[in-house]
Amino acid sequence: MKNKLVADLLYQIADLLDIKGDIFFKTRAYRIAAQTIEVLNEDIEVISKEDRLKDINGVGEALSLKIKEFLDEGKLQYFEKLKKEIPAGVLDLLNISGLGPKKVSILFNKLNILNVEQLKIACIEGKLRNLDGFGEITERNILRGISLKEKTSGRILLNIAYETCMEYIRYLKKYDNIDKISMAGSLRRMKETIGDIDLIVTSDYPNDVMEYFIKYSKVKTILQKGKTKSSVLLKDNNIQVDLRVVEDKSYGAALQYFTGSKEHNVKIRGISIKEGYKLNEYGLYTKQNGTYTVGKTEKEIYEKLKLRYIEPEIRENRGEIEAAYLKKLPKLVKYDDIKGDFHIHSNWSDGNNNIEELALYSKKLGYKYIGIADHSESLKIANGLNSRKIGKKIEEISRLNSRLSDIEIFCGTECDIKKNGKLDYNKDALKKFDYVGIAIHSSFRSSKNDITNRIISAMQNEYVDYLAHPTCRIIGRREPIDIDLEKIFETAVETNTYLEINSFPDRLDLNDLNIKHGKDIGVKFIIGTDSHNINHLNFMRYGIATARRGWLNKEDILNTYSIEKIKTIFRRDKRYG
């Protein structure tokens, strides 16, 4: 499947044309086509061979020829030419918050700025302020955007790392000489961003495993290759993957050692010493004469140290070791505990799929229910629903509910919170929904007091069920909004408002620390994917991981409940009484 590759090509062309100053509707056409191809279920190569490219919505004469050339030749002349006109570093500038194609174009053409580093220097030297449309504040904003990007630079989003890793594991599993295999490191702990991918395998033939490991078709560079450890750099995304081969009797010890976190391990090793052992990546050895005691599984190591087994997601030295000793570890929510998803956008607003497609795919995931929460009226860009359309959407959902079995569809909304804290829909409109999610989509930089009060007053609305992506952060692009989370948590408890754990990989909002803190105060949560097409529904895994990192158990999360219980919560007396 080269669908993703083709989509990326079209996205890049759109960016390049934007910087060149081509008309908006042309670049938009490229992006629409890219988006469609990205989520296409059918293999684009098959479609191309059968000469059906033009049947794809958004692909016409010109694009079909370009896609065909790219698939047949392995590259596209048009794209190669564009890349010569605009260096790759200039494209990077688009990823800085506050910079769009027009400004980037000026920076490139007037100041000959070719990359982020040069831009940073130019800002510090005050060279931008004299350009048309730029000023001192622009310089400061750009510097802020660059530093935000630097903070996460070199780190990959969780979903990219996870998918890349699973693909590598599938390749390795095909090899007979590998027995056990697992990911380790921050990826196994499911941190929101990942530095590199660590893999641990057991085998009696380490040398052969190393050979097989580096022969993977996506390897770009072999960084090192030894007897038991090798590192490679992957094509496309430049991710580093480290592989370690250990004996079976050391498998658990190696996993424990390489999963981390560093802080967790330091403390565990301290406990080992106190208990008369020495712990390293090969096993737990007695201090006295260095004999091997255990090491085959992580569980037996923890148990030998008088601790309960600690799940990887919470190994951060945030109290888990003490809790493991006192037998007070939370029973973390499991990846298959989730029974549905309430944050899904359909093609009634800005989603790519219709409700039936979403429902059928959700059924495949084993869900019992889903909720379609399209945008509200004022979010015109996202094609927000006006009150007339709400009725029609409800009719469609009830038709589907009577036709489809084993899955129930709820009609919800992601209602915009206006600047004054009022909701985008009035009471009569809100009443029509099965449930109401609320969210902020503008004025992120208001004062802490204003924005906190704005959210609190929205939460106090009697029709509101949950607050979506509470801090509005975008990892690597936007800092969380400055809010008084303590007050938000208190209001959530008072008003029975569930707080969302948004599973979209660049959001993961609330984050692990917020969640843990909220739980201590008594907050209840809901995990939503913010899906805009059926593939996004799979992001649920990352929301669950974040919930686990926040120490949540099943009972803390709305969408683990039975459908009957959900209905009583959505129809609580205060609303309909």
Site for DNA in 377-436 (CB under 7 A): 379-383, 419
Q: Toward DNA, which CB reaches closer, 25 or 576?
A: 25
Nearer Cβ to DNA (131/160):
131
Q: Are strands 408-416 and 229-234 parallel, antiparallel or unpaired?
A: unpaired
Given a contact cutoff of 8 angstroms between Cβ atoms, the answer to whether 233 and 218 are in contact is: no
Q: Under the criterion CB under 7 A, does residue 35 sit at the interface with DNA?
A: no
Both structure tokens of 452 = 């906190």
Q: Is 445 in the site for DNA (CB under 7 A)?
A: yes
Q: How many CB atoms lie within 10 A of CB 255?
A: 24
Yes or no: say if 485 and 455 are a contact pair by the CB < 8 Å rule.
no
Cβ-Cβ contacts under 8 Å for 63 (sequence gap 6 or more): 10, 29, 30, 33, 53
Range 447-454, long-range pairs (CB < 8 A, 24+ positions): 447/482, 448/482, 448/483, 448/484, 449/484, 451/481, 451/482, 451/483, 452/483, 452/484, 452/487, 452/488, 453/421, 454/417, 454/419, 454/420, 454/421
What is the smallest separation between the CB atom of 63 and DNA, expressed in angstroms?
A: 4
Q: Which token pair is 88?
A: 């790759």
Q: According to the binding rule CB under 7 A, does residue 343 interact with DNA? A: no
Q: Nearer to DNA by C-beta: 393 or 441?
A: 441
What's the angle, vertex CA 80, arms to CA 49 and CA 215, rounded to 5? 70
Tell me: does residue 70 bind DNA (CB under 7 A). Answer: no
CB of 426 to DNA, least distance (A): 17
Q: Is 25 in the site for DNA (CB under 7 A)?
A: yes
Min separation Cβ 52 and DNA, Å:
12
Minimum distance of DNA from residue 210's CB (angstroms): 44
Of 138, 457, 538, 553, the one binding DNA (CB under 7 A) is 138
Kindly state the smallest distance separating residue 309's Cβ from DNA, in Å: 41
**126 near DNA, judged by CB under 7 A:** no
Q: How far is CA 510 from the centre of its chain?
A: 12
Site residues for DNA, 71-110, by CB under 7 A, read 78, 97-104
- Per-position DSSP letters for 519-558, written without gaps between them: HHHT--EEEE--BSSGGGGGGHHHHHHHHHHTT-BGGGBG
Among 4, 54, 75, 431, binds DNA (CB under 7 A): 54
**63 contributes a contact to DNA by CB under 7 A:** yes
Q: Going residue by residue from 467 to 496, which x/- string records binding to DNA, judged by CB under 7 A?
A: -------x--xx------------------
Q: Which stretch binds DNA (CB under 7 A): 26-34, 227-235, 249-257, 400-408?
A: 26-34
Rounded to whole angstroms, how far apart are CA atoms 497 and 326? 32
Residues, the chain, total?
A: 577
- For residue 289, give both structure tokens: 């004469």
CA distance 400 to 420: 37
Task: Give the residue, chosen from 442, 449, 460, 568, that forms a contact with DNA under the rule CB under 7 A.
Answer: 442
In three-state secondary structure terms, 572 is coil
Number of residues that bind DNA (CB under 7 A): 49
327 near DNA (CB under 7 A): no
Binding of residue 285 to DNA (CB under 7 A)? no
Question: How far is C-alpha 567 from the geometric centre of its chain's CA atoms?
Answer: 29
Structure tokens at 63: 């694009």
* CB of 100 or CB of 366, closer to DNA: 100
**Termini Cα distance of the chain:** 54
Q: Does 133 bind DNA (CB under 7 A)?
A: yes
- In the shown chain, the binding pattern of residues 352 to 381 toward DNA, with x for contact by CB under 7 A and - for none, equals ---------------------------xxx
Nearer to DNA, 381 or 513 (CB): 381
* Residue from the set 57, 293, 386, 449 that interacts with DNA by CB under 7 A: 57
What is the DSSP code string of 394-412? HHHHHHHHHH--S-EEEEE
Among residues 80, 132, 406, 564, which is the contact residue for DNA, using CB under 7 A? Answer: 132
Of the pair 325, 444, the CB lying nearest DNA is at 444
Q: Does 572 bind DNA (CB under 7 A)?
A: no
Catalog residues that contact DNA under the rule CB under 7 A.
Answer: 23, 25-26, 28-30, 33, 54, 57-64, 78, 97-104, 129, 132-139, 141, 379-383, 419, 441-443, 445-446, 474, 477-478
